[in-house]
Structure 1
Amino acid sequence: MDQDITTFPPTPEVNSSYTPTAVKATHLASAILLFATFLVGLLGNGLYLWVLGLKMRRTVTTLWFLHVVSCYFFFTLMIPFFAVYVLLGFHWAFGTAMCKLLNTCISMGMFSSVFLLTLISLDRYILTHHPVWFRRHRTIPWARKLVVGVWLVSFALSAPYLAFRETRVVDGGRIVCINNYDVFSDWTMAETQGLERRVHLAIFMVRFLLGFLLPFCTIVACYSRVGLKMKEKKLAWTGKPFKVMLAMVVSFFLSWLPYHLYHGMKLYRKEVPESVSAALLIIYTFTSCFNACFTPILYIFVGEKFWQVFRMSLLTLVKAAFVDDLSGSAPGSSG
């Protein structure tokens, strides 16, 4: 994951002298859990993409969730890299380009999913509080433009990884992937070290404010207003909607808070015990993976139609398989 000192993939030229130590039981267990999470996420997110993208009528709501699940699917594909990273004793073997690209993609996925969940909460708020405007202006072309804007802004906010991420050789020939915020490439001068810290702090604050605090406050405010409106109509505490909203808020908070706490601690790594930082790294790694692979389960409850379409689509596939099999083995059939 994104660390200041991470054992990220060594390039072949400098990695020949590194020999991984014996795999520890905790590393093996963590890697197994990550691979299991990857398989579940690949299957679950893949099925959601199939249903949302091909089997359901295109609406603004399905468009929102199609791209949210796409973010999770995108993140899920990267989990095996982290599993290998853990198995090698926090040593990565994929080169400098992957060091930059992988962290950029992770950041894009994080920002995109956060912004899309915020848009969904604003969409729910407008639906309940401004229904006239909602009916007139909420169109698929309008939603597509917002989605494109989300991806572009996410890339812009993630671009610093392409500039600041690099690999270095450390003890024993191990390669680490780090954020080098020293824009003058001189790590000994006090002036450049002060500038490095200010750049690091600025990037962290942008990531924390735009990637967590402001979206979280917006989501909580929107769903609180929606809940109050539903309560006025005697609907808030009697069905799925309130439970879904609460689950999404709690999931968002628990999934991303450890991530930002860890990166905040890196600003004060001299004052924070290494054991605390390492524990928080493990927590945020697994909460991020869990969020990407299991949060889509919530989307079954977004509407009754999703589960109905999902079941009908699977039934259609099974029927088609049997029909093809019977027709292929019928007397007189070719082959």
Structure 2
Amino acid sequence: MNNNTTCIQPSMISSMALPIIYILLCIVGVLETLSLNGYFNKIGKKTSTHTYLSHLVTANLLVCSAMPFMSIYFLKGFQWEYQSAQCRVVNFLGTLSMHVSMFVSLLILSWIAISRYATLMQKDSLQETTSCYEKIFYGHLLKKFRQPNFARKLCIYIWGVVLGIIIPVTIYYSVIEATEGEESLCYNRQMELGAMISQIAGLIGTTFIGFSF
């Protein structure tokens, strides 16, 4: 192991507690998804809120699919070679699934909040004291978020944009940045923190999360 190697030893929490937590979260998430799907199938008329929630459930199922990979990474990552197939697959799938699900979920939650606000605006717009600006704001913008067809197109657009941004960054990180280091083990500092491009993307993502809230 040379001086440039940045392998780190996992703590007891990383190697034991995190795998168990990820597996438990995966089981709970899958059960929750199945129960919600059963609920949606019994609904006759689906509103825009149901459309948003169905895509939110899909994002939740996606992140659940990444949790077993993250569990294996924290359990066995410090034993794998850095350039091994296991390390590359777990790193790529785990990173891709977690980030896509996170950003899609944040956006859809934002649209749900706007849709609920549009419902309140609809009630207020019926009152005589409602200003002309509020009526126009509801009629030309907010009202669309309550339309199932618009909600469906918006969710598809969200998935396309998020996948179009995150997939290239993840591929670059897995193919280019992962081969630039001289680490010997999969669990290392660069894998945890990322190189320059990954850190810039993470900063942009953090800013986006703050903007969504």
Say which SS state the counterpart of residue 73 (structure 1) adopts.
helix
The answer to whether 1:163 aligns with 2:163 is no
Amino acid at match of 1:139: Q
CA gap of 1:56–1:94, structure 2 versus 1, over 3 A, is farther
Amino acid at match of 2:75: L
Residues 40-97 of structure 1: CA deviation (Å, up to 9, x unaligned) = 2221222213322x22232211111111121111101111111112222545662435
Partner of 1:174: 185
Matching residue within 208, 213, 217 for 2:210: 213
Q: Measure how far apart 1:107 and its partner are.
A: 1.2
The unaligned stretches of length 5 or more in structure 2 are 1-5, 126-138
Confirm or deny: 8 A CA contact 2:49 2:146 kept in the other structure.
no
CA gap of 1:109–1:140, structure 2 versus 1, over 3 A, is same
Confirm or deny: 8 A CA contact 1:165 1:180 kept in the other structure.
no
TM-score, normalised via structure 2 length: 0.69
CA distance in 2, matches of 1:97, 1:25: 23
1:75-154 matches, within 5 Å, as: 75-88=63-76, 90=78, 94-131=86-123, 133=139, 138-154=146-162
Question: Which structure's relative contact order is higher, taking Cα pairs within 8 Å and 6+ residues apart?
Answer: 2
CA distance in 2, matches of 1:206, 1:136: 28
Partner of 2:62: 74
Amino acid at match of 2:112: I
1:1-335 matches, within 5 Å, as: 24=12, 27-52=15-40, 54-57=41-44, 58-88=46-76, 90=78, 94-131=86-123, 133=139, 138-159=146-167, 160-166=169-175, 167=178, 173-176=184-187, 178=191, 196=196, 199=197, 202-210=200-208, 212-216=209-213
CA distance in 2, matches of 1:69, 1:6: 37
Amino acid at match of 1:96: R
Q: Measure how far apart 1:170 and its partner are.
A: 5.5
Residues 260-303 of structure 1: CA deviation (Å, up to 9, x unaligned) = xxxxxxxxxxxxxxxxxxxxxxxxxxxxxxxxxxxxxxxxxxxx
CA gap of 1:31–1:137, structure 2 versus 1, over 3 A, is closer
CA distance in 1, matches of 2:38, 2:7: 35
Q: Alignment identity in percent?
A: 19
**Larger C-alpha radius of gyration, 1 or 2?**
1
Confirm or deny: 8 A CA contact 2:69 2:94 kept in the other structure.
no
Say which SS state the counterpart of residue 80 (structure 1) adopts.
helix
- Greater helix proportion: 2
CA distance in 2, matches of 1:100, 1:73: 17
Confirm or deny: 8 A CA contact 2:47 2:146 kept in the other structure.
no
What is the root-mean-square deviation of aligned Cα atoms in Å? 3.3
CA distance in 2, matches of 1:62, 1:6: 46
Confirm or deny: 8 A CA contact 1:46 1:73 kept in the other structure.
no
**Matched residues, number:** 180
TM-score, normalised via structure 1 length: 0.46
CA distance in 2, matches of 1:136, 1:24: 50
Q: Measure how far apart 1:153 and its partner are.
A: 1.7
Q: Measure how far apart 1:157 and its partner are.
A: 2.8
Confirm or deny: 8 A CA contact 1:71 1:112 kept in the other structure.
yes
Residues 122-169 of structure 1: CA deviation (Å, up to 9, x unaligned) = 111122124563668732111111111111121133131122234457
CA distance in 2, matches of 1:69, 1:94: 28
CA gap of 1:136–1:40, structure 2 versus 1, over 3 A, is closer
